[in-house]
Amino acid sequence: MSAEERLLAVGRLLKPHGVRGEIKVAVMTDDPSRFKKLDAVTVELANGQRVSLHIEGARVIGPETVLVKFREYGTPEAVVALRDGVIMIPRSKGVPLKPGEVYFADMIGLTAILQESDEVLGSVTAIYSAGNDLLEITRPDGSEVLIPWVEPFVPKIDVEAGKVFLTPPPGLLEE
């Protein structure tokens, strides 16, 4: 992996499971079984520190949950230090995208533009999953607005140009 290569978040570390040092992971990818194929990963801890770890084993226990065992952690007491961390992989190891799909990581920092007027609304600063995904747009004045990430409200994304075009529902931008 080059130093410049972006990392993709694929799972959030939840809590220790069992007595062998496994930890529950909330999956942030369409294919939970992909954890079985991963070896070396980067974990960004809750304090922002990044550590390189090796996956010794992974078991899918639900459509959105996996149990992961890291080689470096052998007990539940040790693995608790990873709680609330994020498992990340190099972009080059990400699942190939279908036409029209984008990685969440590529959305952060895009300029949000109102499609009808070409007015710059702000920039995408976060994405929240809540039924439908929500784009957090931070305006130049520092205020934030959440836009549902569905095609009627987000009709066009141009990652290459660094822009996302929005058609928010009436009243959403009013204060």
Is residue 174 assigned to a domain? no
**Domain that residue 88 falls in:** 7-92
Q: How many CB atoms lie within 10 A of CB 30?
A: 8
**CATH at residue 15:** 2.40.30.60
Bridge partners for 48 per DSSP: none
**For the chain, what's the residue count?**
175
Q: Are residues 12 and 88 in the same domain?
A: yes
pLDDT of residue 170: 82
pLDDT of residue 124: 93
CB contact at 8 A, 122 and 139: yes
pLDDT of residue 175: 63
The CA R_g of the chain, rounded to the nearest whole Å, is 18
* Tally of structural domains, the chain: 2
Instruction: For the chain, 175 residues long, give each residue's pLDDT as a single digit of tens.
Output: 444 567 888 899 999 998 889 999 998 887 888 889 899 999 999 898 999 999 999 999 988 899 999 999 989 999 999 999 999 998 888 877 778 788 777 888 899 999 989 999 999 998 887 677 889 999 999 999 999 999 899 999 998 899 999 998 888 787 6
Q: Which of 35, 69, 92 is the last residue of a domain?
A: 92
SS3 50: strand
pLDDT of residue 4: 53
Q: Which amino acid is at 75?
A: T
pLDDT of residue 1: 41
Q: How many whole angstroms from its chain centre is CA 162?
A: 18
CA atoms within 13 A on the CB side of 13: 25
